[in-house]
Amino acid sequence: MQKKTKFVIIVGSVISGIGKGTFSASLANILKLHHGLVVAPIKFDGYLNYDAGTLNPYRHGEVFVLDDGTETDLDLGSYERMLNQSLTKDNYLTAGKIFKTIIDRERKGEYLGRDVQFVPHVTDEIKSYIKRLGEKTSSDVVLVEVGGTVGDIENSYFLEAMRQLALEEGKGNVCFVNVVYILEPKSLGEQKTKAAQLGTQRLMAMGIQPDVIVCRSEKPVTVSAREKISAYSNVTTNRVVSLHDLENILEIPIALKKMKVDEEIIDILGLKTKPDHEFQKWEKLAGMMERAKKKVTVAIAGKYTGLHDSYISILKALEHTAPYYGSCADIKWIETTDIENEKQAIEMLKDVDGLIVPIGYGSRGAEGKILCIKVAREKKMPFLGLCYGFQMAIVEFARNVCGIRGANSTEVDPDTKEPVIDILPEQKKIEGLGGTQRLGGQDVAIREGTIAHRLYGKKEVRERFRHRWECNPKYIEILEKHGMVFSGKHPKYPIMQILELPDNPYFFATQYHPEYTSRPLEPNPAYKGFVEACVKHAEG
């Protein structure tokens, strides 16, 4: 017999970007790790893109890649890290995906000549998608995060679908959580709730009565402010909770648990729980983070440094790995488009304990990255190259160690005479951009007796990729002859996926993204090795 799935719908009012995703992930964390429930999060984004693959990092932050190759919003990364589990395409929904499904069905004649409308066709498709997720995963709870803000045109039909879902599922099976922002103008010196009240009333005007209201703010929300919101929303004061800014994300599930938000939602949904002790590991890690005193300075040399969310998974991987070595990572941002010569790179990297060169596309900032890598290699500074950073490390080594002066990537210079980095053969005939790269989980064969083998302790691992270019097989022999070790490769083909320099304390680069699989309770080995090396470098 199929278990009855319950639903928690998380919406936001007042402003966007207030942390609905973080709240959703944190609540899922408690329900799974403390209460032993099977949970499945899903994010809805109202944009008409089919997925997040073609979105500019400056506008939307990092594109997160799931094991099945789905390119998603960065909130899916938060879900995976908080839940310590992998998700699939079923956990991500966009307006583009909904409308494409409906148009494809209409073209096939599946609607039997009827007018295709928002109600019932679009709303029915949304409800079916969410219910199927619960069935596929045999979940006790499906948590639905609705992107954007109450009142946005692009999510109004989705909210209507959620209203219908609550009606169809019946009382006690759907819980609505409204995440609001409490303003505190400096000129007034007091918290103002009017915007939160109006946002909640707008939600109620759509036929949705919130069961819980989460008040986001810089400082703890006062009792009087919570009472005002309660009076205008028909939500009892004990279910109007304060969630102010905290030092780090690991503390949020602990704070929610202390406020008994999880217990209120369990009561609303009538859930039967089976307590788990995994949450104690989470609390232990949060305590380790709080006690960590050693600071290591890590430089991130990229070209999207104006928006730190472009590198959110890297930041989180450093944040949750450092406490295991009694340290905390202090980030120094280096905009590589501003670096024109080696002297500038040396200046930028002074007093730094390690360098990360992350993902990137195109030619802008490439030479600045290469200069930073050269400094790190020559000064034997811990280095971690990620995807594009792996490729630029090969270009730098080819130029400055192998003596291949014109070495370059065809992505940077399509006419280069020494294409040490070239596009993957299967990519050359592809037109368009969306979903056309090598994406998702791939097996990596690890060479024994290498740093990679010491870190992973396995002969084969699975990591996530997102790239079109690779190390040109024609240059592998000369690179290896001069001391570069390719310690990870495709199990069948000469596609290099990990490189290292044995003469350096930690010079390690991956064609894949270890940050996508790094989680607080299980940091990725590549980050563990890097942070450990940074701590040793800081200690001299």
Catalytic site residue from 62, 418, 515, 532: 515
- Residue 126 contacts by C-beta under 8 Å, 6 or more apart in sequence? 44, 93, 98, 157, 158, 161
Annotation marks residue 490 as catalytic: no
Structural Rg of the chain based on CA atoms? 25
What are 182's two structure tokens? 């409490």
What are 138's two structure tokens? 């045999």
* Maximal CA-CA distance, the chain: 75
Cβ atoms of residues 43 and 78 within 8 Å: no
Residue 95, SS3? helix
Cβ atoms of residues 396 and 370 within 8 Å: yes
Cβ atoms of residues 263 and 35 within 8 Å: no
Catalytic site residue from 80, 513, 534, 537: 513
Annotation marks residue 513 as catalytic: yes
Among 353, 427, 366, CA closest to 399: 366
Among 133, 142, 147, 136, CA closest to 49: 147
Annotation marks residue 121 as catalytic: no
Q: Is the peptide bond before 120 cis (omega within 30 degrees of 0)?
A: yes
Distance CA 163, CA 122 (A): 13
Question: Pairing state of beta strands 496-500 and 485-489?
Answer: antiparallel
- Neighbouring CB atoms inside 10 A of 504's CB total 19
Catalytic site residue from 175, 387, 402, 534: 387
Cβ atoms of residues 299 and 352 within 8 Å: yes
Looking at the annotation, which residues are catalytic? 387, 513, 515
